[in-house]
Amino acid sequence: MRGLMQDWPMLCHRIIDHAAMVHGEREVVTRSVEGPIHRTNYAEIRARALKVSQRLDREGIALGDRVATIAWNTWRHLEAWYGIMGIGAICHTVNPRLFPEQIAWIINHAEDRIVMTDLTFIPLLEKLADKLPSVERYIIFTDKAHMPQTALKNAVAYEDWIAEVDGDFTWKTFDENTAAAMCYTSGTTGDPKGVLYSHRSNVLHSMMANNGDALGATSKDTMLPVVPLFHANSWGIAFSAPAMGTKLVMPGAKLDGASVYELLDTENVTYTAGVPTVWLMLLQHMEKQHATLPHLKVVICGGSAMPRSMIKAFDDMGIEVRHAWGMTEMSPIGTVGALQSYYSNLTGEAKLDILQMQGYAPFMVEMKITDDAGRRLPWDGKTYGRLKVRGPAVSGAYYRVKDNILDDEGYFDTGDVATIDQHGYMRITDRSKDVIKSGGEWISSIDLENLAVGHPMVAEAAVIGVHHPKWDERPLLIVQLKQGNTATREDILKYMEGKIAKWWMPDDVVFVDSIPHTATGKILKTALRDQFKTYSLPTAAA
């Protein structure tokens, strides 16, 4: 028997409708790419998003068409976002920090018909335009006064473009499983893979994010997402903030410590979200200026692990740090590290131990850890396993890729290796392709790297598994020393001794001039594995 409640499809534009009706005067403040601070509100954002929809409709963009954005966090980007989705087109956020050839590959794979972009990225796109046959026109997020000369096809200033319509338009309606947005992940190997969010998944993710233990901002809060809209929907904040009526502060192109600090301070921001690099710059700026942020309540930190010293720095200022973990394939929230009641009375190092974990899954994310054979492993905080996830905002497939990416229980393998404790707190210990499998046991390359960089002479460290006749694989530590410093193999190993299990100790240490990185700043272990493919460990001969 079916229930008799209303059929009310979860569509993204219902979020901005709600914001405009109930929180219409709540501000959206942006450091514009042109320079000045710009102020608008949710009612105006909705009105202009409707113009975007109407103008796209006139342009011939329809249900299922892809429209790319390569842009900073601004009010115009937010309007375009809802405007694109509001007619059932797909908002494809492209990360401008990728290598140009990756950007071209992604736009071609998505077959984007329109590219909306900031002044910042015109030179980049002018170089690529010849290789982008599907793109019919470029819309530049600016006005006539700031519009430059450009060879980009049918280029037009956004303000001129939307001025051609009157906004008397109604959102289209369609099934809630319709694709709403698209974001490519670029790993260290293979082609980028397209994640295709649905209206349903975006709406559910925003509701999940708005519980008090996840992002948890309210209508009285002000949120500054430093994390860009092109990073998995800025962790969903472009949906969750308007759904709650949270005031939004958008940092535009300036993500340095001084600029972020200024906005946090002048706009009385209470919640902010971003990656560790951003917080490092902010903390350095604040230390230099002896600055404080009395209004700031919560810092959400994801993207990569937050150093303990950084957690402590915020905690010492009375600012709650919530370590978050997720991935593009998860919309992206997987876990958030708010303190559960069991841990809420902890102080000092014990508290930092918990805050340094990646947190626990909110309702609608299901997690398990398994061994290589897929058998579930216990949640004891010690046992490592492959981290697998399930939920309505988790990928079930990639765009135009036939491979089945789910196991027989419907879980997606995150590619991470993790422990989970009895309260569901998860700790990433490694990437599954980087973990070193020594005699059937797993050694975390990340733990060894984190330990090695603690040595005062070490600038950066990478650990890879190298073939070993007896143990299958053993860890090789690759070290880049700080400029002008020296250290021996023995110095490094001695430093590590006693701090980890004996069988975890690297079998050898090699020194290199530089460690290779991906476009997004991660260690390129595939290159290191190639380089040391035939490396013979001293222990292998024994």
- Is 309 one of the binding residues for its own copies (CB under 8 A)? no
Binding to its own copies, residues 73-92 (CB under 8 A): 90
Shortest separation between residue 65's beta carbon and its own copies, angstroms: 9
Q: Binding string to its own copies for residues 413 to 442, with x set by CB under 8 A, is what?
A: ---------xxx------------------
Identity of the amino acid at 273: A
Cα(234)–Cα(248) distance, integer angstroms = 12
Look up 51 and say whether it is catalytic: no
H/E stretch holding 57: helix 42-59
CB of 394 to its own copies, least distance (A): 5
| The one catalytic residue among 442, 473, 504, 525 | 442
Catalytic-labelled residue, pool 185, 188, 518, 526: 185
197-218 b/e (C-beta count within 10 Å ≥ 16 → b): bbbbbbbbbbbbbbeeebbbbe
Nearest to its own copies of 428, 451 (CB atom): 428
- In the chain, the amino acid numbered 214 is A
Q: Are residues 106 and 78 in contact, defined by beta-carbon separation less than 8 angstroms?
A: no
Per-residue binder mask for its own copies (CB under 8 A), 184-223, x = binder: -----------xxxxxxx--x--xx-xxxx--xxxxx---
**Which of 270, 263, 230, 211 is closest to 246 using CA atoms?**
270
Q: Which is nearer to its own copies, 271 or 279 (CB)?
A: 271
Stretch that binds its own copies, among 3-11, 132-140, 272-280, 480-488 (CB under 8 A): 3-11
| Per rule CB under 8 A, count of chain residues that contact its own copies | 79
Q: Using CA atoms, how far apart are residues 171 and 276, in angstroms rounded to an integer?
A: 38
442 in active site: yes
Q: Is 2 in the site for its own copies (CB under 8 A)?
A: yes
Residue 113 DSSP symbol: S
Contact pick of 76, 231, 247, 386 for its own copies (by CB under 8 A):
247
Task: Report, in Å, the least distance between residue 8 CB and its own copies.
Answer: 4
Q: Interaction with its own copies in 40-69: which residues (CB under 8 A)?
A: 63-64
Question: Applying CB under 8 A, does 294 fall inside the site for its own copies?
Answer: no
- Residue number with CB closer to its own copies (204 or 477): 204
Cα–Cα distances in Å, from 134 out to 54, 193, 268, 295? 22, 19, 43, 47
Q: Does 532 contact its own copies by CB under 8 A? A: no
Give yes or no for residue 331 binding its own copies (CB under 8 A).
yes
Q: Which residues contact 268 (CB under 8 A, 6 or more apart)?
A: 222, 295
Please list, in sequence order, all residues whose beta carbon lies within 8 angstroms of the beta carbon of residue 231, skipping any fewer than 6 positions away: 95, 303, 328, 332
Rg of the chain taking only CA atoms, in angstroms: 24
Q: Does 363 bind its own copies (CB under 8 A)?
A: yes
Q: How far is CA 333 from CA 205, 303, 324, 501, in A?
A: 8, 11, 7, 33
Q: 512 in the Ramachandran plot: left (φ > 0), alpha (ψ -120 to 50) or beta?
A: beta
* Beta carbon nearer to its own copies, 161 or 343: 343
185 a catalytic residue: yes
Q: Which of 147, 156, 317, 339 binds its own copies (CB under 8 A)?
A: 339
Q: Does 109 bind its own copies (CB under 8 A)?
A: no
Sign of the CA dihedral running 397, 11, 186, 127: positive
Q: Which lies closer to its own copies via its Cβ, residue 121 or residue 412? A: 412
For its own copies, the binding residues in 468-527 under the rule CB under 8 A are none
The Cα 243–Cα 16 span in angstroms is 7
Nearest to 105 by CA among 1, 219, 2, 193: 193
Instruction: Determine if 410 is a binding residue for its own copies (CB under 8 A).
Output: yes
Q: Is 22 in the site for its own copies (CB under 8 A)?
A: yes
Residue with tokens 């809209």: 229
222: annotated active-site residue = no
Separation in Å, CA 364 to CA 207, 334, 335, 389: 10, 9, 11, 10
Q: Is 203 in contact with 12 (CB distance < 8 Å)? A: yes
Contact positions with its own copies (CB under 8 A) in 127-186 = 175, 177-180
Tokens of 444: 């975390």
Q: Shortest gap between Cβ of 103 and its own copies (angstroms)?
A: 22
Shortest CB 335 distance to its own copies, Å? 10
116, 393, 428, 481: residue in contact with its own copies (rule CB under 8 A): 393
For residue 341, state whether it binds its own copies (rule: CB under 8 A).
yes
Catalytic residue numbers, as ranges: 185, 329, 437, 442
